[in-house]
A = this chain, B = another copy of it.
Amino acid sequence: MLSKAKIKLINSLTYKKYRDSTGLFIAEGEKLTRELAMARFSFNLLIATEGLMPYYDSVGCEKIVATPEQFKQISQFKHPSNVLALCYQKRLKPDISGLKNELSLVLDQIQDPGNLGTIIRLSSWFGLRHLICSTDTADCYNPKAVQASMGALAHVDIHYTNLKTFLNDAKEAGIPVYGTFITGKNIYNEKLDSNGLVVLGNEGKGISHEIEGLIDNKLSIPSNNFNRLSVESLNVSVAAAIVCSEFRREFLS
């Protein structure tokens, strides 16, 4: 039975404070819950309509059958889903040696969980296995980030860490460090390594001063608008997409 205490627990997890204290996050919808199960995330609780429950036989955790009416009380969506799980967060620390032969994005203070989710989704599309975030980047287990990732949260390892220490260690290990700036070198003209780290900065302020000093290769996505009748910046997830496309296009073509 779906108790009041469970409903309260689920809804509390929209707040970071309660996600932190319990180590749990909400996964809603068939696609996401199945992908998390396949990716061996640990489940704490699974709630599904009667018809759907048999599909989750292999998931080992407490299970509760709920009616569509009850889903309205716990759903994070406008149109409630018919399966919702509480899963345990993965708390990963980046292993520098594992990043040596990879391309990975590094996020410096990305604030919007929707942008973060979109970046997780496109990282997965381009085969990036890791995403490194500053400790003050939005929480990847925020329901909006989880939703925007469209299941990709299951496939990308997300690491929160002190970026300054991390980038220093990466440089020492010989990993090239790129970053996107308004005034960097034209990304379309640069010879890009196939592996390395690419730092993307905060939506309003860009890459922080402290991190800028650690970036060897400053890149810029040039604007086509020379008459100044243009916007002055690109959305960070759009910039991330163009960066991934440029680093991968030779390999993918």
List residues of chain A with CB under 8 Å of any chain B CB: 39, 114, 118, 121-122, 124-128, 148-152, 155, 186, 188-189, 221-226, 229-231, 233-235, 237-238, 241-242, 245-246, 248-249, 251-253
Contacts and interface: CB of A to CB of B under 8 A. Distances in A.
A251 B188 CA distance: 10
Contact of A150 (B148, B231, B241): B231
Contacts of A127: 223-226, 230
Contacts of A148: 235
A225 B118 contact: no
Contact of A231 (B125, B186, B237): B125
Contacts of A230: 124-125, 127, 152, 155
A189 B225 CA distance: 26
B252 A222 contact: yes
Contacts of A242: 241-242, 245
A73 to B, nearest CB: 26
Contacts of A234: 121-122, 125, 241
A251 B238 contact: no
Contact of A223 (B126, B149, B233): B126
A19 B229 CA distance: 26
A252 to B, nearest CB: 5
23 contacts: A39-B229, A122-B235, A124-B230, A125-B223, A125-B225, A125-B233, A126-B223, A126-B224, A127-B230, A155-B225, A155-B229, A155-B230, A155-B231, A186-B253, A188-B249, A188-B252, A188-B253, A222-B252, A224-B252, A237-B237, A238-B241, A242-B245, A245-B245
Contacts of A246: 245
A77 to B, nearest CB: 14
A121 B248 contact: no
Contacts of A249: 188
A130 to B, nearest CB: 14
A39 B233 CA distance: 18
